[in-house]
Amino acid sequence: MSSFTASQNFKQNQMLARFYEVEALIYLLRTHIESQYNDSDLTLIHGFRLLSDGALMDLYQAITLNTDQSHQGGNDE
């Protein structure tokens, strides 16, 4: 059981690491879009902000839900 918990913790850490990499790339892209378009196309800037924030929240929730279910499944064994 200890091995199961350790592998689940490792998996969670790996998934969160990938999430933070994706988050960093999205913020880099957001900064680029904001600097390129400035005030010329606020609709694009705000639309990308909403889209990226929503995508990051959904991805984070999916990761935490997956790990919560894995931990609950591990406790049942």
Going residue by residue through the chain, which has 77 residues, state the pLDDT in tens, using 9 for 90 and above: 466 677 888 888 898 899 999 999 999 999 999 898 877 788 989 999 999 999 999 999 988 887 666 666 655 44
Question: Which pLDDT score is estimated for 76?
Answer: 47
Q: From CA 8, how far away is CA 64, in angstroms rounded?
A: 12
In terms of Cβ atoms closer than 10 Å to its own Cβ (0-12, 13-18, 19+), residue 25 is exposed
Question: Which pLDDT score is estimated for 48?
Answer: 92
How much is the pTM? 0.70
- What region does 13 belong to: left with phi over 0, alpha with psi -120 to 50, or beta? alpha
Question: Which pLDDT score is estimated for 41?
Answer: 87
Sketch the domain layout of the chain as residue ranges.
2-76
Find out whether 63 and 16 touch, Cβ atoms under 8 Å: yes
Q: From CA 12, how far away is CA 18, in angstroms rounded?
A: 10
